[in-house]
């Protein structure tokens, strides 16, 4: 597995969900540390299961240094960051087609697939 590209969206989500005081480059470094030191799984942890659906190609990366933080990797890129606290909130709902709906916002994880190169193809 090759190192995925870290999207600006993922860095922004790290700042808003994990460390609101982190400057952008520091947050990018933190996301990179999660990816390099983390364990890649094809299934979400128990605290995420009611909020995300298994999507083909979607990988969940967890790091023991921040066990309540998950980087979602799809199509060779870190597409967003989720936290245990965020997933405990009752206003997140998973739709049957794999969308995660939160307060009127819909995140379509499969929409990233056509825009991002596969890790193996990117080299």
If one counts every other C-beta atom within 10 angstroms of the C-beta of residue 24, the result is 12
Q: What is the pTM of this model?
A: 0.71
- 56 lies in which domain range? 5-122
pLDDT in tens, 9-46: 999 999 999 999 999 999 999 999 999 999 999 888 88
Q: List pLDDT tens digits, range 80-108.
A: 999 988 877 654 444 545 555 554 444 45
pLDDT score of 122 more than 50: no
More confident of the two residues 122 and 64: 64
| Predicted confidence (pLDDT) per residue in 54-63, tens digit | 678 889 999 9
- Answer yes or no: is pLDDT of 76 > 60: yes
Question: CA-to-CA distance for 34 and 54, rounded, in angstroms?
Answer: 20
Nearest CA-CA partner of 100 in 110, 2, 114: 110
Contact 105, 95 (CB under 8 A): no
Number of domains in the chain: 1
């Amino acid at each position: 597995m090759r190192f995925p590209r870290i999207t600006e969206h993922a860095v922004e989500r790290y700042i808003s969900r994990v460390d609101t005081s982190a400057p952008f480059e520091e947050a990018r470094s933190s996301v990179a540390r999660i990816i390099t030191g983390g364990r890649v799984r094809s299934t979400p942890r128990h605290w995420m299961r009611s909020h995300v659906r298994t999507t083909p190609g979607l990988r969940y990366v967890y790091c023991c240094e921040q066990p309540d933080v998950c980087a979602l990797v799809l199509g060779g890129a870190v597409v967003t960051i989720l936290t245990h606290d965020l997933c405990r909130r009752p206003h997140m709902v998973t739709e049957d087609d794999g969308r995660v709906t939160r307060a009127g916002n819909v995140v379509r994880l499969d929409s990233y697939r056509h825009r991002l190169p596969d890790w193996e193809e990117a080299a």
